[in-house]
Amino acid sequence: MESTSIAEYLRMSRWGYAAVSGLHILGIGLLLGSILRFNLHGLGVWRNVPRVCLAQALLPVAATGLALAIITGTLLFSVKAQEYSEILVLQIKVVLVAVATLSALLLHRADGLSLQHTAETPLRMHAALSTACWLGALACGRLIAFVE
């Protein structure tokens, strides 16, 4: 991964790396800003707002943020793949992102994109798991800069 032309470019280009890093932060912001609001609804906040309306407004933004964060995160990882792969908090972050993403995919596969007919108990369980995973991934992502 480190020997790809894009990894070499990012290592050598101050502005290229900064742009990818900025897009990574944008992706995280879109993802967390949307999914946490949706999860709060699943946990009982904003009950007067129909779930379908929130799903239609927030979930495409969350999916876009996730795609952007994964693509740019992979690019950032490629710069020092060998070194980064040995960082425990990065390993934990990747697992948390995978669990949260898989949980969402399974829930939507079973109950549709809008989750209109999802029972409250499974939705609450998913919202709690998703919130814990995404906040944990965010914390781990920040810790990467402070560990060796």
Task: Using the predicted structure, report yes or no on whether residue 85 has a pLDDT greater than 80.
Answer: yes
**CA within 13 Å, CB half, 21:** 12
Q: In the chain, what percentage of residues exceed pLDDT 70?
A: 99
pTM, entire model: 0.90
Q: Structural domain tally of the chain?
A: 1
DSSP state of 85: T
Q: Tell me the mean pLDDT in the region 52-77.
A: 96
Q: Tell me the mean pLDDT in the region 36-45.
A: 93
Q: Tell me the mean pLDDT in the region 105-126.
A: 83
Q: What mean pLDDT, rounded, does the chain reach? A: 93
Task: Using the predicted structure, report yes or no on whether residue 6 has a pLDDT greater than 70.
Answer: yes
Distance between CA atoms of residues 107 and 125, nearest Å: 11
Helix axis angle, 5-12 to 14-42, nearest 10°: 100
pLDDT of residue 122: 86
Q: Tell me the mean pLDDT in the region 56-83.
A: 96
pLDDT of residue 9: 96
Task: Using the predicted structure, report yes or no on whether residue 61 has a pLDDT greater than 90.
Answer: yes
- CA torsion sign for 109, 113, 37, 73 is positive
Q: Tell me the mean pLDDT in the region 68-80.
A: 97
Angle, CA of 12, 15 and 10, to the nearest 5°: 35
Q: Give me the domain span that covers residue 82.
A: 5-146
Q: Tell me the mean pLDDT in the region 46-74.
A: 94
Task: Using the predicted structure, report yes or no on whether residue 148 has a pLDDT greater than 70.
Answer: no
The pLDDT-based confidence of 24 (bands split at 50, 70, 90) is very high
